[in-house]
Amino acid sequence: MTPTDLIPETDLARTRRARRIDRALAVRYPDAHCELDFTSPFELLVATVLSAQTTDVRVNLTTPTLFARYPDAAALAAANPEDVEEILKPTGFFRAKTKSVMGLSAALVERFGGEVPPRLTDLVTLPGVGRKTANVVLGNAFGIPGITTDTHVLRLSRRLGYTTSDDPLVVEQELNHLLPRADWTMASHRLIFHGRRTCFARKPACGACPIAASCPSAGIGEIDPVKATALLKG
């Protein structure tokens, strides 16, 4: 069964189910957190931009060298692009990423005194920064709740029947409606952890899933508990 096969669910029932699922995921992943390493809002902003089309692990292997050489927006804005490209090469799309991180650094210096602004409307004006990146920074660097619509959150939101949309803005709005505002950041982390460790894109481990009873897509993956447990990561 897929979300589109469901008998229409009332808003109240969907909200209750979404919150029940989030509570179950909190038990399953009590250590859910942002898996990008950072020590400042600037480092998280740059790391999040670099995470596009690569893994957090790869970014975490790259950013120590980048930040040791360019510790703040002013330093990165004044860098030699070729030197930055060489550092960022392992992350893929390194020329575009160099342009983005140097551009956003210059914009921070020119318009925000070199500091990362704690406002979504300001963050999305920076080169290479969209709502997803802005919400990562707001939620994890400033404690301002936000839904992160990365690939895992988008996939799981459809599988769980929260939405039928592929549009990140629509999915963000749907999740904002279903979950308490105070929980938006952590709910995002829990969905991402679940997507990376259990509810895989190709073959989810349904037989070892703590929310299978509440999931309209349960059964699309491995349903044998032993085989499903062997698929789990982390």
| Residue 219 zone, left/alpha/beta (φ > 0; ψ -120 to 50; rest) | left
Residues acting as catalytic residues: 132, 150
Nearest to 128 by CA among 95, 101, 157: 101
pLDDT of 204 higher than 60? yes
H helices of the chain, in order, are: 11-28, 41-50, 56-69, 73-77, 81-88, 94-112, 120-123, 131-141, 151-159, 168-178, 184-197, 225-231
Break the chain into its structural domains and give their ranges: 3-30+150-231, 41-141
- Tell me if domain 3-30+150-231 and domain 41-141 are identical in fold: no
Rg for the chain (alpha carbons), in Å? Answer: 19
pLDDT, tens only, 130-188: 999 999 999 999 999 999 999 999 999 999 999 999 999 999 999 999 999 999 999 99
Average pLDDT along the chain: 96
pLDDT of 83 higher than 60? yes
pLDDT of 63 reads 98
Which CATH class, in words, describes the domain spanning 3-30+150-231?
mainly alpha
Does the pTM of the predicted model rise above 0.85? yes
Three-state secondary-structure class, residue 163: coil
The predicted model gives 191-206 an average pLDDT of 97
pLDDT of 4 reads 47
CATH architecture designation of domain 41-141: Orthogonal Bundle (1.10)
pLDDT of 69 reads 98
pLDDT, tens only, 16-47: 999 999 999 999 999 999 999 999 999 999 99
pLDDT, tens only, 214-230: 999 999 999 999 999 99
Nearest to 196 by CA among 163, 231, 159: 231
CA distance 138 to 8: 34
